[in-house]
Structure 1
């Protein structure tokens, strides 16, 4: 017996299922693809590079003074307010790419906008089973407005009067997210429109460079200040390899998904040792995947807890059924 599952990004109102038609937890958890694809979406992106100022051949210096008669004679504060009326990322990027002055002025906003569109880093994530009940969700994962929206949803004729569940609501009202093992597939939907608008050269190269994930060496639960290192999972793989024909069954993706599944029913098409997977203690928390170097620079590690013991113990249990 088993139920179907969706990944939900609660903050961005996006959802996705497992690849193909393998929607039951026991069917996709060990497929080596689905969980890794979710982890890829959580990877932090790099900073937006500066546009290089190209020195003309033979010139002693590059003249970057503002022209005497142009839009650029306006103060930066006025130039920035011009962008208030720009509604799309493509238009904003086009404005930024017009010159170095506009690029420097808009770079921080452009970086935040692109990162928000491309990466799920920092978002609240849950893997929701379709046997869930709305009165049995993890505490606090819906705001009052989101709860009111869900309660007001009108069930279809086949529901027989049953309220619309969050699982069903997300399938109807959340955007479908791109999942792929290749980050190019994820960024294509955002970069291709820029190419069509004529953005090329240094501005496009800078955006492409930013849309490259940092080294994925640590998964962070930002809500609970827990973390799991990739080398911890590597050591676990070495331990279990003899049982897996020499394969490496786990990644940070399995470490994540094994803790964020949630349903009101324990059926998951997995062995009896795995009932707890459907009551994930991290379900609905915010996550990112970054490098240990960045982590150590940004955070006081004494305030964080290494969750390797609980994660590895859970993964060993999941392996018992394969």
Structure 2
């Protein structure tokens, strides 16, 4: 019987999907929702809204106050800094208010929508039952003590029972896609403050509160621990019988690929296999030792990638990961001739000089 798997955020102590066979996670659940690690471009959105002339709004008594006091008023309106409408209502007052609220909106939107960006992610199999079964350095001393009662002085502590799978499934909570501030129920069945807005104000509120993910930006999934990245646009949006119900096949493929990169188990049997022979075996070998298991991941634009420390460079590993994605499809479809050669598609789309757009990036 194949082992069960569960995707975890170790920093937040939550699981991103329920326990299931890995084959089910990858093909039937689309991995996990990428938006939990995708950082919205809120700065760009607000900057566009601030374009144009400012009316003389400082004649209003409120906006005669210094910016420092306006910031304090904004914090008093939303002391918990929750993702609440009141912050956006304040920002909608005028451009001066929007300018004052800009940094706060950026902060709460990133915390709400990119809530797991930069966190340690791993999809662990239930066969991992001791510390020796996990990637080296995955857990801190504090986590080993609090989660499993293992002290640094324990002899042979690597062999002590320590099942992350059991711990998460029994006591951690599940999280899904971050909810929007605009709900149909609020607009139809009860008169919330949002439902009382005029049409023009509602459209402005929706523009301001909806996370901004520009389609013309070059999105990348970054491994902050290893300084590696994969390019979103390089994932082919090819459809076939398995993707017939996918609205965004490119995104679905990236979800599957990222999940495949964070899997970890001491056992070779993943349950993801077909009759493709050696290629399916190679895929299983990579899955049980995911190259990004337990690393800190985030999805951002190429321009907003975190700078490297001096002497270090980002490395584009898109081509390597596309081979894994192709292997997944071949093992599932059981017919290599029906699968797109993803590496060739990548080479045709991106040239080496485009990959090295930054001085800190290497191919």
TM over 0.5: yes
> Structure 1 residues 312, 49: closer, same or farther in 2, change over 3 A?
same
Cα distance in 1 for partners of 2:55, 2:126 equals 62
Q: Does 1:43 align with 2:38?
A: yes
Please, what TM-score do these two structures have when normalized by structure 1?
A: 0.71
Residue of structure 2 in register with 1:315 after alignment: 325
One of 126, 131, 137 as aligned partner of 2:127: 131
Q: What displacement does 1:283 show?
A: 0.7
Which one of 23, 26, 51 corresponds to residue 23 of structure 2?
Answer: 26
Q: Does 1:10 align with 2:5?
A: no
Greater Cα shift, 81-90 or 271-280: 81-90
Cα distance in 2 for partners of 1:107, 1:53 equals: 10
Paired residue for 1:89, among 80, 83, 86?
83
Deviates more, 1:112-121 or 1:163-172: 163-172
Q: Which residue of 2 aligns with 1:113?
A: 108
Q: How does 1:205-220 map to 2 (within 5 A)?
A: 205-212=206-213, 215=217, 217-220=219-222
Q: 2:179 aligned to 179, 187, 201, which one?
A: 187
Which structure's relative contact order is higher, taking Cα pairs within 8 Å and 6+ residues apart?
1
Residues 266 and 276 in structure 1, CA contact (< 8 A), matched pair in contact too: no
Query: Mind listing any 5+ residue stretches in structure 2 that lack a counterpart?
Result: 151-159, 274-280, 333-363
1:303 aligns with 2:313: yes
Match of 1:287 among 291, 297, 303: 297
Q: Per-residue CA shift, 1:171-191, capped at 9, x if unaligned?
A: 344332114xxxxxx433x44
| 1:224 Cα offset (Å) | 1.0
1:166 aligns with 2:160: no
* Alignment map for 1:42-61 (pairs within 5 Å): 42-47=37-42, 48-49=45-46
What RMSD, in angstroms, separates the aligned Cα atoms of the two structures?
4.1
Number of equivalences: 289
Q: Between 90-99 and 5-14, report the one with greater CA deviation.
A: 90-99
Shift in alpha-carbon separation, 1:80–1:320, aligned structure 2, 3 A: same
